[in-house]
A and B are shown apart, each in its own frame.
Chain A
């Protein structure tokens, strides 16, 4: 067995076992609210292929747009805050206060101000997913190595090249950590924003099925969210391996020395 196949088995073994357990445990279920797994799977295909363009794609688009907005804003604000201690001292207490507000609590406010359309949903996603990116970027930029910064000064490396080569790359391990946390927050907020006064999206569909007593369909929506989250985290891993290849290599060598 090759190393890749062995890894695949290790990764998939537990989910497969849990799935099998669900299948067996729900097999003879007569409960209306807990239908057998085969029934959920049977409605999965027809339900979501019919709702692909009306719900699945709009949700995914909002998720990706809101997430991208959170990353761009978080990094864009985090770099100056990390690099300027005085600015940080002024802004940080306010950030801590604003951060303490749970984003779902803002949904009613955003609805009043921006209506129930896509802008409101994007704002909800950005307002929650920005925090891990912003705070990790600040930490990462603060921790940029002094000797590297001196090296840049000596060789006259300034401006955009300094930002790209020293600041953003130096902070990239922390930035990526923040982006990973932000991804799961963005998924949660995407669903929540659609559960309020909405007419499309995965969150809306799940609530709609529940109200219409289409319980297997409701469960299949939850399953779809799980699959969506899992797929996005796989894509994220590929991105991380590319962006932080140097970092993992460096850490492996340091561990080897110790």
Chain B
């Protein structure tokens, strides 16, 4: 077996909420190989965002560890980029679209011409070559999220994390962004870990779906998605295999939502 790029081992996260102990993540282990596209789904309140923040190094786990490229994560690693759900709050409203994408590259002290080239290429890839001089708030929600994606791509991360990236846009935009994200993932050979509450989206996008239990969170199933690599909003979503996989994930999540159903051995890879 090849060495995983991302390794999450016995991760546990406990909050102290004014004296009340809240166990957000119970005991969670999984790994991602380099170049994989993995979706994480779970019932609402399953600590999906907490998990992603621990992986990103934005939160310290209470126990267990996250390793990227065999290096323990204790702060955001340099080879990682994040696309947040709240696109309106993750782009700097006082910077133009171009400067938003360029900012992380400038921090790396890249040469000026190099930065401009990379920014323009990234904006062209997400279809926003003409919007470089605009401010984020002058764009629609879907376009703002494209800017955030362009910023992540221009950064050339090994690991790209996305936290419910399309939850706040309309259905058509969402389908476009799903296909855009998949095509960028294939072209850039990046490892993509993405959290969603949308079962269809998880099955449509991913090579593998991790199904989480409700809090305290564990992985109840690690489901390989054996759909063809070429995916199409119409053909893929209407295929019988898609329906089977979708039904399986749905059933698991329904089970996870039952109180007390998330005992040890409730699932596991089948």
Contacts and interface: CB of A to CB of B under 8 A. Distances in A.
A169 B92 contact: yes
A195 B132 CA distance: 55
A95 B258 CA distance: 54
A150 B58 contact: yes
B89 interface: yes
Contacts of A155: 76, 81, 103-104, 107, 151, 155
Contact of A249 (B82, B84, B95, B135): B135
Interface residues of A, number: 23
A155 B84 CA distance: 13
A153 B74 CA distance: 12
Contacts, number: 67
B94 A156 contact: no
B104 A246 contact: no
B202 to A, nearest CB: 23
A151 B147 CA distance: 13
A151 B56 CA distance: 11
Contacts of B138: 249, 253
A166 B91 CA distance: 11
* Interface range on chain B (Cβ under 8 Å from partner): 20 to 34
Given A157-B103, A165-B103, A147 B76 contact: no
Contact of B94 (A146, A147, A246): A246
Contact of B89 (A147, A153, A154): A147
B89 A165 contact: no
7 closest A-B pairs by beta carbon, nearest first, are A155-B104, A147-B89, A246-B94, A250-B137, A154-B82, A169-B94, A154-B76
23 contacts: A145-B89, A148-B89, A150-B58, A150-B84, A150-B90, A153-B57, A153-B58, A153-B75, A154-B58, A154-B81, A155-B76, A155-B107, A155-B151, A161-B106, A161-B107, A165-B95, A169-B92, A246-B135, A247-B93, A249-B138, A250-B93, A250-B137, A253-B137
Interface of B: 56-58, 75-76, 78, 80-82, 84, 86, 89-90, 92-95, 103-104, 106-108, 135, 137-138, 151, 155
